[in-house]
Chain A
Amino acid sequence: MHIQDGLLDVRTCVAAGVLAMSAVGYAVHRVRQSFADRAAPLMGVAAACLFAGQMLNFPVPGGTSGHLLGGVLAAVLLGPWAGLLVLTVVLAVQCVLFQDGGVTALGANVFNVGVLGSLVGYTMFASLRRLVGDPAGTVFGSVLAAWFSVVLAAVACSMQLAIGGRFVLGPTLGAMLLAHTMIGVGEALITGMAVSFILRARPDLVYGRNGQAGAVSHVAQWVVGGLALALVAAVLISPFASSSPDGLEWAIERLGVEPEPVEPVLAAPMPDYTPRGLENLRLAGSIAGAVGTVVVFVAASLLARGLGTRSSLAHASHAS
């Protein structure tokens, strides 16, 4: 999901860049505060870790393969701001050294993977952890947050691609959702199992376990919760609305961020059969989203119950 140069127009790049830079700037400030002189080695090694982890591929039904993003994992271990910083570093290195992702699109990529993955993902994780209670809550929260962050990133990416002028939102969203709900399941499962492993081996590595710096402000939780619900509603429900334009497209039109008119230079190689196919794509995407949510919820509960309990058993026997 690394956007390359040329996919987004200047306006989108700049807007995303400004958003991303402010978030990252603030993250640098917070990290300096919480980690002081340990920041550089810890974050650097964590970034190297994420980089290595992203090389792991798992097959996804449909023929593609997904790889771990690690946004929520980073946030669970290091906290939201450090997670954002680490992800930014990884994305920057991938972009510059490996040409994986465009330099002008770095802002958008950082926003999708870092801001949404780490910040929003952490908020979701922390709230769920508090709701369910340690240690099951840690596993449960990380699984759900991981899935959600991947799906959110896919949605954000689609929106950027659409606003950036070249893509039509509906089918793009559908296709991205279709792929990423499944990739998200892989990410969620791996994140959950990895977190549970770390809970057993080095529970002190999980951020904010003793209530030290882990509290997320209520406002943030409400904001994120509200956003999440709104997004879910818009994405899942809107295609079922009949002939009126897609909710998001409607929003885009109203906001006046009209994409540039497309001037066909080449004659259409194929006649008009595709709109139907595209409609189905949108529907398929939404259905995938809905199904995915349920699946991940179930998986999260199972994992949390199974592995979370094992971890607490281990604790009990250690302490006796």
Chain B
Amino acid sequence: MTTPIIEVRGLSFHYPDGRTALRDVSFRLAAGESVGLVGPNGAGKSTLLQHLNGILPGRAQYEHHHYVGDGHAHKHSTEARVWVDSLAVTGPNLPQIRRRVGLLFQDPDDQLFCPTVLEDVMFGPRNLGHKSVAAREIAQRSLAAVGLAGYDDRLPHHLSFGERKRVCLAGVLACDPMVLALDEPTSNLDPRGRRQFMNILRELPAAKIIATHDLEMVLELCTRVLLLDEGRLNADGPTRDVLANASLMAAHGLEVPLSLTF
């Protein structure tokens, strides 16, 4: 692999209450590659994604929350464990990192925080330094790319769930990231919404890492699969090889996708 666009080496993480979230996770992502991140609930998928743009390990105050566990406050090391485009994901690099990694969260209401759709999609470009006129153009192009042209003045709480998800995607695309980290992008979408979303994703040139339970989507869109369970990476290989391995899947609370059983 030429210089990977994402490199994770030996990443471990504990929640504030002492539970271990990630144990010594290592993998690489090449430019333009699409990787599926699968695993049971609570495996640490969202946690892993949030390490890719530096949201975690997060603020020091979290260390002193009340905890169960071995009684020690866990101080996370400040050593870099994640590199994006050869940049270490640590404090001073974070603004640069966030230009490169676009993170789409699970709940659109957590991400759609501006009064109107257009303002929200413009949020990213504005923070990146674009002037209003340029930001507006970028935002409108992104909205068109997700099939929501003309939704500029709509209010977020008047949109359907699927529309809100697409606005969030537009907001992330407007930042023109090299890597897209998506957390359960198709959950709660109806079949048409899901198909629309997948079509949009398929056309995007950015590298993608998609945390999801939707294994059929992984089969369609991803060339590689990472299997995470209890914070440990149990498998890292071509999609079919991992997803068709019935014993592996069963051992980690997953099922072989229907289309592979024929």
Contact = CB atoms under 8 A, between A and B. Distances in A.
Instruction: Indicate whether A and B are direct neighbours in the complex (CB within 8 Å).
Output: yes
B64 A318 contact: no
Interface string A300-320: 000000000000000100110
Nearest to A202: B65
A41 B66 contact: no
A204 B113 contact: no
Contacts of B67: 318-319
B64 A210 contact: yes
B71 A204 contact: no
A204 B61 CA distance: 9
A79 to B, nearest CB: 14
A259 interface: no
A203 interface: yes
B61 A319 contact: no
Interface string B165-203: 000000000000000000000000000000000000000
Name the prevailing secondary structure of the B interface residues: loop
A203 B64 contact: no
B68 interface: yes
Count class of interface residues, chain A:
under 10
A315 B64 contact: no
Nearest to B113: A41
Nearest to B65: A204
A315 B65 CA distance: 11
A203 B113 contact: no
Contacts of B65: 203-204
A302 B121 CA distance: 51
B113 A318 contact: no
Most A Cβ at <10 Å: residue of B66, B67, B71: B66
Interface string B132-149: 000000000000000000
B68 A318 contact: yes
Interface string A194-217: 000000000110000010000000
Interface string B59-78: 00100111110010000000
Given A203-B66, A204-B65, A319 B71 contact: yes
Nearest to A314: B66
B64 to A, nearest CB: 7
A41 B67 CA distance: 26
Contacts of B64: 204, 210
A7 to B, nearest CB: 32
B33 to A, nearest CB: 33
A205 to B, nearest CB: 10
Nearest to A44: B113
Interface of A: 41, 203-204, 210, 315, 318-319
Given A319-B66, A319-B67, A319-B68, 12 more contacts: A41-B113, A203-B65, A203-B66, A204-B64, A204-B65, A204-B66, A210-B64, A315-B66, A318-B66, A318-B67, A318-B68, A319-B71
Which 8 interchain pairs have the tightest Cβ spacing? A204-B65, A318-B68, A318-B66, A203-B66, A315-B66, A210-B64, A41-B113, A319-B66
16 contacts: A41-B113, A203-B65, A203-B66, A204-B61, A204-B64, A204-B65, A204-B66, A210-B64, A315-B66, A318-B66, A318-B67, A318-B68, A319-B66, A319-B67, A319-B68, A319-B71
